[in-house]
């Protein structure tokens, strides 16, 4: 048990949460889980219970919780001031580090969240292109803006390219500005982009959509058609940036967009996100370069925050260490392969989907290559296994295992033991009692 965690107060906190918070939670995770401390690849709740953490704060803690180097950088800055609403050395150095690392990044603009970054990236593409419509891919997550919440997880399926709002409160007019394509269907995407090219301001996609890797040739086809027609291509790398490779998914897959968004890892666990891209597009953030008519206003109280920037710089320095990515991929691959073997042993219709640093089990047979394929999943089976894992001290999101550089062989062994037991508890499993 971690030092300093009080083993009481849980009921009082849960009662306060029920009174003060809609649904008793921040809206992110199960309300009954109240985390008090994290260290490395482990977290402790307010009762002192320890978990192996594959939630990782929904991904930012790629080097583990409270890494000494990141903590040292933060504690060095805090006594000097926590925000200035002006340029600061850490923010400038972080911007340069991103430009040096990410293939598409010639210039950077800071914001505070991935939702903001995606919103501004779409606005930036429209400003540059002088067209209003955005193409996105069904099932793709691009934050909480009205535009991002089109066809993320539609409750009813529509014919492409019709957009379906995922939330009440979104103006009907927004639907008309979004064109929806199926992920991993290069022919359909190219056909849509070519047919509506004169209306399209930009195309946005996750190069790795939630859990689903791109099929060979898909990203290349979208890149070719957008480049040929002069339409900005946006890669949403809030999740994949600095996770799949030091240069992100665009380096990992070898396809360079015009604009990308970054978040999570790049802030080292603090609220910081990025819009990055070609200088001729990014100049729309510079009034002196484009004039009043072309200027895209973007102001954020905490943009480029010095504490967050210091944490981000320290995190990136750790990831530049030789072998850092080889090691974390090897850890994730051992867990992913081990779970695949246990699934086969249990004889249940399920499969691991994703990449070694970010994957999950999808409880269905047949190929999973787009959002509609995920709808075949047995969600009751998924919920049951996740519940057994949590009861066994394994913390994960509903649909993801995030792997960190802090997870070790003992963590993987314990997780595989818990997963074996969870599968054995399923009706129809060969290991069922």
Q: Which CATH class is domain 68-319?
A: alpha beta
Helix (H) or strand (E) holding 178: strand 178-181
Q: Are strands 133-137 and 200-205 parallel, antiparallel or unpaired?
A: parallel
User: Among 411, 408, 372, 354, which Cα is nearest to 240's?
Assistant: 354
Classify burial at 352, counting beta carbons within 10 Å of its beta carbon; exposed 0-12, middle 13-18, buried 19 or more: buried
Angstrom distance (rounded) from CA 44 to CA 4: 11
Domain borders along the chain are: 10-63+323-424, 68-319
Angstrom distance (rounded) from CA 59 to CA 112: 16
Q: Is the CB of residue 94 less than 8 Å from the CB of residue 260? A: no
Beta partners for 274? 110, 262
Phi, psi of 369 (to 5 degrees): -130, 0
Same fold flag, 10-63+323-424 and 68-319? no
Q: Is the CB of residue 154 less than 8 Å from the CB of residue 170? A: no
Q: Determine which one of 236, 258, 360, 370 is catalytic.
A: 236
> CA-CA distances (angstroms) from residue 189 to 193, 194, 196, 271?
6, 9, 11, 34
Residue 322 tokens, joined: 């030789």
Q: Which residue intervals of 8-48 are DSSP H helices?
A: 10-20
What is the per-residue pLDDT across 268-290, written as a single tens digit (0 to 9) for each? Answer: 999 999 999 999 999 999 999 99
Q: Is the CB of residue 300 less than 8 Å from the CB of residue 116? A: yes
Q: Which of 389-423 are b and which e, b meaning 16 or more Cβ less than 10 Å from the residue's Cβ?
A: bbebebbbbebbbbbbbbbeeebbeebbebbbbbb
Q: Is the CB of residue 117 less than 8 Å from the CB of residue 261? A: yes
- pLDDT attached to residue 155: 87
- pLDDT attached to residue 31: 87
Residue 401, SS3?
strand
CA 198 to chain centre: 31
Cis upstream peptide for 161 (omega within 30°): yes
Q: Determine which one of 133, 136, 264, 396 is catalytic.
A: 264
Among this protein's residues, is 141 annotated catalytic?
A: yes
Q: Determine which one of 54, 120, 128, 141 is catalytic.
A: 141
User: Residues in the chain with pLDDT < 70?
Assistant: 1-8, 431-433
Q: Are strands 133-137 and 107-111 parallel, antiparallel or unpaired?
A: unpaired
Q: What is the DSSP letter of 398?
A: S
Angstrom distance (rounded) from CA 213 to CA 354: 6
On whether the 10-63+323-424 domain is CATH 3.40.50.11540, my answer is no
Contacts of 347 (CB under 8 A, 6+ apart): 428, 429, 430
Residue 284 tokens, joined: 């729309």
Helix (H) or strand (E) holding 176: helix 172-176
Angstrom distance (rounded) from CA 417 to CA 51: 14
Q: Is the CB of residue 96 less than 8 Å from the CB of residue 313? A: no
| Placement of tokens 């080889």 in the chain | 326
Q: Is the CB of residue 343 less than 8 Å from the CB of residue 352? A: yes
User: Among 242, 335, 322, 233, which Cα is nearest to 278's?
Assistant: 233
Torsion (CA) 42, 45, 46, 47 in degrees, nearest 10: -100
Whether this model's pTM surpasses 0.85: yes
Angstrom distance (rounded) from CA 29 to CA 36: 14
- pLDDT attached to residue 8: 55
Angstrom distance (rounded) from CA 164 to CA 154: 6
Contacts of 342 (CB under 8 A, 6+ apart): 416, 419, 420, 423
Among this protein's residues, is 128 annotated catalytic?
A: no
Tell me the CB-side half-sphere exposure of residue 157, using CA atoms within 13 A.
Answer: 11
Classify burial at 24, counting beta carbons within 10 Å of its beta carbon; exposed 0-12, middle 13-18, buried 19 or more: middle
């Amino acid at each position: 048990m971690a030092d300093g965690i009080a083993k009481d107060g849980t009921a009082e906190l849960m009662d306060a949460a029920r009174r003060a918070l809609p649904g008793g939670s921040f809206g992110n995770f199960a309300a009954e889980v109240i985390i008090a401390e994290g260290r490395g690849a482990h977290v402790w709740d307010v009762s002192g219970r320890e978990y192996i953490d594959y939630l990782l704060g929904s991904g930012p803690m790629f080097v583990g919780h409270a890494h000494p180097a990141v903590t040292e950088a933060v504690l060095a800055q805090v006594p000097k001031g926590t925000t200035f609403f002006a340029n600061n050395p850490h923010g400038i150095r972080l911007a340069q580090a991103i430009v040096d690392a990410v293939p598409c990044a010639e210039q950077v603009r800071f914001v505070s969240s991935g939702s903001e970054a995606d919103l501004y990236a779409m606005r930036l593409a429209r400003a540059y292109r002088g067209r209003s419509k955005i193409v996105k891919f069904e099932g793709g997550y691009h934050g909480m803006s009205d535009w991002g919440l089109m066809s993320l997880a539609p409750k009813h399926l529509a014919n492409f390219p019709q957009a379906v709002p995922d939330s009440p409160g979104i103006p009907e007019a927004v639907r008309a500005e979004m064109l929806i394509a199926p992920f991993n269907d290069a022919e359909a995407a190219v056909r849509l982009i070519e047919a509506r090219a004169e209306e399209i301001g930009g195309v946005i996609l996750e190069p790795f959509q939630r859990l689903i890797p791109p099929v060979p040739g898909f990203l290349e086809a979208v890149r070719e058609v957008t480049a040929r027609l002069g339409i900005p291509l946006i890669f949403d790398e809030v999740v994949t940036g600095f996770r799949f490779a030091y240069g992100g998914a665009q380096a990992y897959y070898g396809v360079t967009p015009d604009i990308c968004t970054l978040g999570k890892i790049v802030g080292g666990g603090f609220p910081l996100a990025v819009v990055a891209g070609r200088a001729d597009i990014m100049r729309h953030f510079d009034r002196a370069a484009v004039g009043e008519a072309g200027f895209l206003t973007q102001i954020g109280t905490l943009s480029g925050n010095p504490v967050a920037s210091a944490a981000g710089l320290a995190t990136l320095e750790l990831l530049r260490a030789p072998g850092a990515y080889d090691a974390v991929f090897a850890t994730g691959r051992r867990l992913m392969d081990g779970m695949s073997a246990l699934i086969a042993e249990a004889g249940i219709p399920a499969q691991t989907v994703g990449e070694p640093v970010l994957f999950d089990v999808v409880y269905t047979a047949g190929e999973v290559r787009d959002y509609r394929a995920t709808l075949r999943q047995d969600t009751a089976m998924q919920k049951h296994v996740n519940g057994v894992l949590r009861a066994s001290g394994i913390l994960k999101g509903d649909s993801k295992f995030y792997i960190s550089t802090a997870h070790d062989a003992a963590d993987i062994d314990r997780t595989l033991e818990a997963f074996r037991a969870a599968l054995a508890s399923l009706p129809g499993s060969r290991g069922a009692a």
